[in-house]
Amino acid sequence: MSVSPWRGLSRPDAPAGALSWILLIIFLDMMGLGLLVPVIPLIVLEFQGDAMVIGWLSLAYAAAQFLATPLLCAWSDRHGRRGIMLLSFLGSAFAYVAFGWAPALWVLFAGRIVDGLTGANIGTSQAYIADITAPEHRSRALAMAGAALGAGFIVGPLTGVGLSRLGHHAPAFVAAGLTIASTALAWWRLPESLPAHIRAAAINWRDLNPLAPLQAALKRPVLRPLLAAAFLANFAMAALRSHFAFFAIIVLGYTQSDANRVIAFLGVMMVIAQGGLVRRAVERWGDYGTLVVGLGLSAVGFGGLSIAGSTPMLYVMVAVTALGVGLGTPTMAALVSHRSAAVEQGAMLGAAQAAASLAQVLGPVWAGFVFVKWGPALPFSSGAALVVTALIVVMLHRPSARSNGAEPQGRS
């Protein structure tokens, strides 16, 4: 039997092959999402052709996720990661079936709400990876997870190009099948990553407050600026994710296949960033420095998208944005993980996801409003301003080498 190429990243006591399997499961899960995202505008247009409807759908999902994800991730600290991941995958499968079936607009909203209420996929997967990897390799392992996400967004939209010949509901049903496959693999191949002896205490009534993990994280000076930056950066990214396909189809005259190719290209660039560049960047600049570079590139990319007047410029700015997000996302998660105890990895990473989800509640609605009111460039130009603000917050709160959980400095 061949040895996993990522085995050296795992802790010596980690289950054999667990990192390889979780990366494959993340890939399949995100491939399903990559299949669905480009066809959401086309499905919505069957009922009501309004950019605001896209925003309200995104709000329904993100609001439900904001309320549920911190609680689910905190529960994973008490009862283990595996069960929460299985629940999350099944919720996504339900949502994809709802989009494929879609007899009325309310069914789309119901699907998105259920998906949001069970939407701890990313936070719990990150906690699982944190459980099984050595601290000095955590940034690289989380970057590999990001590369799996990006690869899913390459293969998903490109597969959707062929499936679109069967109608734009076909990708939703295939996405459901992929997510069910993720559930089966997680059940079959993923052992529990959190040993019983290091789990948190039993749940009490305060744990039923979905805001409790976020409130606890915000009380920590070393985590507060990271959560603020996560909120601001994800607010900007939510506009890109929720309205780019609508922008491309309605404003640029792109076909569904054209939009799929751009989204796939976004995935390619994120894989390049998270599959190889993150490791070199962290070795040179450390997690903090890599986060700063990532936010800077993201700001340039969003600003460029707001003035892109041609397809070549659009692709260049998508590439810059993807590289920035690809460098920033795993190092943000790694910094949160380094500043959290072993028994609270799920809660603190869940709090970071809650900050991101809150941004995803507000971002799509804001994007839809400015899209309709002031023009299609405003979601991207306002996103650039938000990412610049996130960069300033991070730079004004640089951690000292002696602060809790500070990562080692990179090479000079």
- Taking the C-alpha atoms of residue 247 and residue 267, their distance in angstroms, rounded to an integer, is 18
Whether the CA torsion 196, 197, 200, 201 is positive or negative: it is: positive
Q: What is the mean pLDDT of residues 355-375?
A: 76
Q: What would you measure as the largest C-alpha separation in the chain, in angstroms?
A: 59
Highest mean pLDDT, choosing among 86-90, 199-203, 248-252, 373-377: 86-90
Residue 408's pLDDT is 38
Of 14-28, 46-60, 392-406, minimum mean pLDDT range: 392-406
Cα separation, 105 vs 155, in Å, equals 28
Q: Is 80 exceeded by the pLDDT of residue 310?
A: no
Which 8-state DSSP code applies to residue 10? B
What count of Cα atoms within 13 Å lies in the side-chain half-sphere of residue 27?
15
Which of these, 128, 37, 139, lies nearest to 85 by C-alpha position? Answer: 128
String of DSSP letters for 105-144 = HHHHHHHHHHHHHT--HHHHHHHHHHHHB-GGGHHHHHHH
pTM score: 0.65
What's the rounded Cα separation, in Å, for the pair 260 and 52? 21
* Per-residue pLDDT at 412 exceeds 50: no
Nearest to 95 by CA among 20, 18, 173: 173
Q: Which two tokens stand for residue 273?
A: 């960033």
pLDDT tens figures, 151-163: 887 788 778 877 8
Can you give the pLDDT at residue 12? Answer: 63
Share of the chain above pLDDT 90, in %: 10
**Model confidence band, residue 266 (pLDDT cutoffs 50, 70, 90):** confident
Find which of 10-24, 94-108, 181-195, 388-402 is predicted with most confidence, using mean pLDDT. 94-108
- Options 1.20.1250.20, 2.40.400.10, 3.10.20.600, 3.50.50.60; CATH for 17-195+207-396 is 1.20.1250.20
Q: What's the whole-number mean pLDDT along residues 313-323?
A: 88
Residue 191: pLDDT band with limits 50, 70, 90: confident
Query: Can you give the pLDDT at residue 410?
Result: 37
User: 223 pLDDT band (50/70/90 cuts)?
Assistant: confident
Quickly tell me which residue has 């744990």 as its tokens: 207
User: What SS3 class is residue 189?
Assistant: helix
Residue 337 has pLDDT above 70, yes or no: yes
Q: Which pLDDT score, from 0 to 100, does residue 3 have?
A: 42
Most confident of 222-231, 295-304, 394-403: 295-304
User: Per-residue confidence at 344, pLDDT binned at 50, 70, 90?
Assistant: low
Which residue has tokens 């899960």? 29
